[in-house]
Amino acid sequence: MWVYEKKLQYPVRVREANPRLAKYIITQYGGPDGELAASLRYLSQRFHMPTRETVAILNDIGTEELAHLEIVGTLVYKLTKDASIEEIKESDFGAYYADHDKAVYPVSAAGVPFTAAYLQSKGDPVTDLQEDMAAEEKARSTYEWLINLSDDPDVTDVLRFLRQREIVHFQRFGEALDLVQEHMNSKHFY
Amino acid sequence: MHEEQLRLLKEIMAVDFSLVELNLFLDTHPCDQRALMDFNNLCCQSKALRRQYEQCYGPLMACSDAPPRIPWGWVETPWPWQIDYGRS
């Protein structure tokens, strides 16, 4: 189970309304390499991990991804809440606004709704951990591109924090993969 | 949010982030004594800071050290996306 804490993992500041930037950042909420896909992937895969360490790392990184989902949702909320209809019409955000107003909804930057097809849970721990390492790298790249698109230094600061977490998660999954391979290559006497 | 409340909240956020980071490290290095000692120290620090925050400013979790009040503090205090975190 989970318990909610009334705080963010990292403070989210934005300089001013910026619906254009929100339209890009929403992709880390419900896009192919976003935080929702990440949390569902790890929290689903954890049931079939063969060692105690790897169950723990998937459980705990999957949980941290939910905190990141909240950070990304907060970015979108803060970037749009004071945006005027004129600002929305002038930005890329108009197409999103037509379907969702300023509500936070899991879609990619191009407007494709979230789908479970973004993730796998294969039952083979080596396969799953390889996917997880690739997923962290894809998310890191996405944060790089979002940093390139950002014109708000406060938003860039949050994106840098999230990018750094992907690097740490990649490292931990690499260690988990080593542990699983060691486990599979060892002789099992009972 | 008042300056002192925000300062304390950000201190809790920082300590709790260190706990998340050490938690992940310990998952794959469960015999690392230094990391475990750091984790346990920060855990005590976090509990003390939370107690102080909740007694003054209301609950961080539904079941909390906040003094009882009507209406219930959980629905009264701001949600994390509503907070202005000030200048960095």
Does this model's pTM top 0.95? My answer is yes
- Helix, strand, or coil here: A128? helix
- Cβ contact, residue pair A6, B80, below 8 Å: yes
Contacts of A11 in chain B (CB under 8 A): 10, 13, 85, 88
- CATH number of the domain that residue A161 is part of: 1.20.1260.10
Find the domain containing A95 and state its range. Answer: 19-185
Tell me whether residue A12 is in a domain: no
Report the alpha-carbon distance of residue A23 to residue A144 in Å, rounded: 16
Q: Which among A58, A74, A67 has a CA at the least distance from the CA of A5?
A: A67
Residue pair A45/A38 in contact (Cβ under 8 Å)? The answer is no
Report the alpha-carbon distance of residue A105 to residue A30 in Å, rounded: 7
Q: Does A13 touch chain B (CB under 8 A)?
A: yes
- Cβ contact, residue pair B80, A77, below 8 Å: no
Residue whose entry in the numeric block shows the structure tokens 């606004």: A97
- How large is the ipTM? 0.96
Tell me whether residue A11 is in a domain: no
Domain residue ranges of chain B, discontinuous segments joined by + = 3-78
Residue B88 to chain A, least CA–CA distance (Å): 8
Q: Tens of pLDDT along chain A (190 residues)? A: 999 999 999 999 999 999 999 999 999 999 999 999 999 999 999 999 999 999 999 999 999 999 999 999 999 999 999 999 999 999 989 999 999 999 999 999 999 999 999 999 999 999 999 999 999 999 999 999 999 999 999 999 999 999 999 999 999 999 999 999 999 999 877 7
Residue pair B52/B82 in contact (Cβ under 8 Å)? The answer is no
